[in-house]
Amino acid sequence: MLSVTDLRKTYSGGEEALRGVSLDVGGNETVAVIGPSGAGKSTFISCINRLTEPTDGQVELDGVDILRLSGKDLRNARRDMGMIFQEFNLVERLTVMENVLSGRLGYVSTWNAFRRKFSGDDVERAYEVLDRVGLAGHENDRADELSGGQRQRVGIARAVVQRPKILLVDEPTSSLDPETSRAVMDLLTTIAAEDEIPVLINIHEVNLAIEYADRIVGLRDGEKVFEGPPEELDEAAQSQIYRGAPPDEEGDPVVGRPDETDGTEEVVRDGEIKRG
């Protein structure tokens, strides 16, 4: 169970990216976080595993407060959080298999990690996961030879071989075509259901959130303004998330892809990467 309580992030310039966001994620559920560009979605995900250091709050995974850990304890805790990135975050010159096995680096010695030497069980597991994500036969392909959809599948496989307690997913469909986006979402929700791994996912396509998520969370200006099942994400709720007002005040709400730039801009501010 992931339990986030009153999570806050204030940059040194005074901008509040997160303003006391709380959320529980567990079981085999898929929770989608939506909101306009700059709402704090990517900051929320990156604060959970401390790629970005939060200012205050609690992040507990199975009762362990991630924000109070450091050094080896933090590295060990991160093994339990599989991260899937918007830009895939693969090593382009390495093979598919080498990229997937990098998900096991936290479990091997520094010397074996340097030599990229893994156990037979790890290699067998990697082959199984590659078959599961539809990449059987591609294990020796270089990452830079793959399509965008295939690269995202490699990123998913890498996270799954970690045997994590939760998958944290940052805008996995932003650079993919609609058909490939649905294939990726099918894969993520299937993994959640079959492996009993909850999935917390930032996504800017509202239609995909409605179609695939068990629960939807709406952020606006760093605050949680909506939480509920997809059927409760009506016009009024969408307008509140994306415009800050009900539809009778601002017109029809935005649906589908409310902001084509969402999640793609990165700005270095006060020595940190700030994303929407």
In terms of DSSP H, where are the helices of the chain? 41-48, 71-78, 96-101, 110-115, 120-132, 148-161, 178-195, 206-212, 235-243, 247-250
pLDDT digits (tens, 9 = 90+) for 165-216: 999 999 999 889 999 999 999 999 999 999 999 999 999 999 999 999 999 9
Give the end-to-end CA distance of the chain in Å, rounded to a whole number. 25
Residues forming CATH 3.40.50.300 domain(s) in the chain: 2-80+165-275
pLDDT digits (tens, 9 = 90+) for 64-101: 999 999 999 999 999 999 999 888 889 999 999 999 99
Judge contact between 219 and 186, C-beta under 8 A: no
Residue-level pLDDT at 141: 97
Residue-level pLDDT at 86: 82
Residue-level pLDDT at 123: 93
Judge contact between 151 and 175, C-beta under 8 A: no
Tell me the whole-structure pTM to 2 decimals: 0.85
Q: Which amino acid is at 261?
A: T
CATH, domain range 2-80+165-275? 3.40.50.300
Report the mean per-residue pLDDT for the chain: 88
Angstrom distance (rounded) from CA 49 to CA 37 = 21
pLDDT digits (tens, 9 = 90+) for 10-40: 998 889 999 999 999 999 999 999 999 999 9
Can you name the residues that pair with 84 across neighbouring β-strands?
A: 169
Going by the DSSP 8-state scheme, the letter that residue 74 receives in this structure is: H
Using the predicted structure, report yes or no on whether residue 248 has a pLDDT greater than 80.
no
| The token pair that represents 204 in the structure block | 């800017």
pLDDT digits (tens, 9 = 90+) for 129-139: 999 999 999 99
Judge contact between 47 and 18, C-beta under 8 A: yes
